[in-house]
């Protein structure tokens, strides 16, 4: 459960801390990858 929480926190941090001038598409890509990881984690913790 703690791993899931930290993963979500990491996602939130990345969502809100994208530096100005940072390519939005790259940020979106990272977010997509993280979301997939979170979904996989969730599936692991809550079968």
Q: What pLDDT shows up at residue 12? A: 64
Cα–Cα dist 35/8, whole Å: 9
Q: What pLDDT shows up at residue 42? A: 84
Q: What pLDDT shows up at residue 21? A: 66
pTM of the complete model: 0.40
How many domains is the chain built from?
1
Give pLDDT tens digits for 1-47.
566 677 767 666 665 656 666 666 777 788 888 888 888 888 887 76
Structural domain for 24, as ranges: 2-45
């Amino acid at each position: 459960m703690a791993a899931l929480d930290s993963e979500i926190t990491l996602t939130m941090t990345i969502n809100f801390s994208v530096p100005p001038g940072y390519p939005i598409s790259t940020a979106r890509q990272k977010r997509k990858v993280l979301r997939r990881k979170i979904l996989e984690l969730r599936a692991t913790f809550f079968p």
